[in-house]
Amino acid sequence: MINHNVDITVIGAGPAGLAAAVSAYERGAKNILIIDRNSWIGGILPQCIHDGFGVEETGHSMTGPEYADIYIDMVKKKNINILKETMVLRFDKDKKITAVNKDGLHNIKTKSIILAMGCREKTRWSVLIPGDRPSGIYTAGVAQTLINLYNIMPGRNVVILGSGDVGLIMARRLKFEGANVLGVIEILSFASGLPRNVVQCLDDYDIPLFLNHTVTYIKGKERLESVTIAQIDKKMNIISGTEKEIKCDTLLLSLGLIPENELSKDVGIIIDKITGGPIVNQNLETSLPGVFACGNCLQVYDTVDILSLDAKYAGKNAANYKRKKVNHKLNVIPGKGIRYVIPQIITAPGKIRFTLRVEKPKLKTSIRFTVDSKEIYKKKLPFVNPANMIEIYVDISNDLIKISKKLEVALFD
């Protein structure tokens, strides 16, 4: 057993983990340990070789590896300790962490933990597509790893199911490498990726986007031979007679991302059923005191810029962490038209940062915060889209927390 005694342990050296560690260091925590299971640091960024990273944060557009380098440099300059190729196996309620790498088993005692495990992709089975089980079906992220990091071409004639951002980016990437991208199939009536990606990755390359469509059958005894797509109605039922078989050798799945929280669940941290991430308070602290969550394991972010901003906040709070007794608790509830709101719990007053998503795209609407049917905040928005996370700062007074139990956030026309 290799023993460590640290102030803060960060699980995951992706953009969230690095930003949180840097921020915690700047707030005075010097004894920090970052753990990552990959042989590199930067998480998913090194394979994101397209540009568009850091625009909001730095004012200029970078590729993923360039953006990652900024934080990698900071971590290195501060001599923050990193264990690479190291897997956290579990941690317990007293925050004792067990991890493993080629040197052996590690026991880590830590005052606080920052969860930054990222997310994973949904698979074929999360939507249960019937048919055969051939080779040639990849999640978009795996295809990106293979092409960009391993110099391997997974297919030639490609259909993409799901219009998430990774799928859109991969449509363009495959086109660059000479593949035929036959179309992107989206079950909803709107693309689930960012509007700018629809324009820059599909429209600019004449790749068709089939809205209100899904893949109904997968055919191929050994390698994929074709997929059948069909139109669906408003109730998500397949409209018979609209089936169309598309010959292809590869199906990429971009069905959405799931926050990775096996470690959190194992220790009993309460998970929000909608976000898939831990339920957190205004400090991004989970239901287990001293354990903070940030990055895509908290919620799936649109851009790394906003993700880093929140991660820095989690890092700062972890550095300042002292266990306090909670006297009053205000629950934040998503109301009409709202999918989720973070934080889900408010225990202390202040100017609180809320991040939230709507259920459907909509023009000209307002977001309203109400406590016991009394409006405390309202903001008009020209349009809302589930693909664009909404960020709002609202002052929450001590009185409000003391008197009320429920803060509702809803759309209001």
Partner 1 sequence: MKNFQVAIIGGGVIGSSIAWELSKYKIKVIVFEKGSDVASGASKANSGVIHSGINSPYSSLKAHFCVEGNKMFQTLSNMLGFSLKWVGKYVIAKNEEETKELERLKSVGKKNKVPNLEIIEGKEVKKKEPNVPCVAALYVPTAGIILPYEFTIALAENAAVNDVKFLLETEAVGLKKQKNSFFIKTNKGDFSTETVINASGVNCREIVNMLEKPDFHVFPCRGEYLVLDKNYYNLVHSMIYPVPPKELGVLGVHITPTIEGNILLGPSAEFIENINDRSTTRNMMETLLYEAKEILPSLPDKAVINAYSGIRCKLASPAEGGWADYRVEESKQTPGFINLLGIESPGITAAPAIAKEVTKIISKSVDLKTKTDFKIIKKKKRFSQMNSKERSDLIKKDKRWGRIICRCEHVTEAEVIDAFSNPLGAQTISAAKYRCRAGMGRCQGGFCTQHIVRILENEFKTDIKKMKLSSTNSHLFFSRTREKKND
Q: Contact residues for partner 1 (CB under 8 A)?
A: 1, 37, 85, 87, 89, 98, 100-105, 120-121, 123-126, 128, 130-136, 138-139, 141-142, 145-147, 149-156, 177, 216, 219, 221-223, 249, 262
Burial-class residue 240 by CB neighbours within 10 Å (0-12, 13-18, 19+): exposed
What kind and span of H or E run contains 159?
A: strand 157-161
Report the C-alpha gap between 157 and 179 in whole angstroms. Answer: 6
Nearest to partner 1 of 152, 326 (CB atom) = 152
Q: Residues 255, 162: contact at Cβ < 8 Å?
A: yes
Tokens found for residue 209: 């986007």
* Least distance CB 244 / partner 1 (angstroms): 17
Between 92 and 177, name the residue whose CB sits nearer to partner 1. 177
Evaluate the omega torsion of the peptide bond into residue 343 and state whether it is cis, within 30 degrees of 0: yes
Whole-angstrom Cα distance, residue 7 to residue 227? 52
Quick one: 99 or 318, whose CB is closer to partner 1? 99
8 Å CB contact between 140 and 197:
no
Helix (H, G, I), strand (E, B) or coil at 337: coil
Q: Least separation, in Å, of the C-beta of 310 and partner 1? A: 24
| CB 105 to partner 1: min, Å | 5
| Contact present, 56 and 86 (Cβ < 8 Å) | no
Closer CB to partner 1, 98 or 287, in the complex: 98
DSSP assigned state of 204: G
CB of 25 to partner 1, least distance (A): 27
| Residue closer to partner 1, measured from CB, 106 or 111 | 106
Q: Which amino acid does the sequence have at 345?
A: I
Residue (of 362, 365, 355) closest to 390 by Cα position: 355
Q: What tokens appear for 153 in the block?
A: 């071409």
Smallest gap from residue 59 Cβ to partner 1 (A): 32
Which of 225, 227, 120 lies closest to 164, judged by CA? 120
> CB 98 → partner 1: shortest distance, Å?
8
Contact assessment for residue 378 and residue 366, using Cβ atoms and an 8 Å cutoff:
yes
Residue closer to partner 1, measured from CB, 92 or 262: 262
Given the complex with partner 1, which of 275 and 281 has the nearer CB atom?
A: 275
- In terms of Cα–Cα distance, which of 12, 2, 17 is closest to 35? 12
Q: Closest CB to partner 1 among 38 and 81? A: 38
The distance of Cα 377 from the centroid of its chain, to the nearest Å, equals: 27
Cα→Cα distances 409→211, 300, 302, 332, 405, Å: 30, 20, 21, 7, 14
Question: Minimum Å distance from CB 180 to partner 1?
Answer: 12
Question: Which of residues 30 and 133 has its CB atom nearest to partner 1 in the complex?
Answer: 133
In the complex with partner 1, which residue's Cβ is closer, 138 or 321? 138
The whole-angstrom separation of Cα 64 and Cα 62 is: 7
The nearest distance, CB 334 to partner 1, in angstroms, is 19
CB of 136 to partner 1, least distance (A): 8
Structure token pair of residue 206: 């004449």
Tell me the CB-side half-sphere exposure of residue 55, using CA atoms within 13 A.
Answer: 7
Q: How far is the CB of 147 from partner 1 (least distance, A)?
A: 5
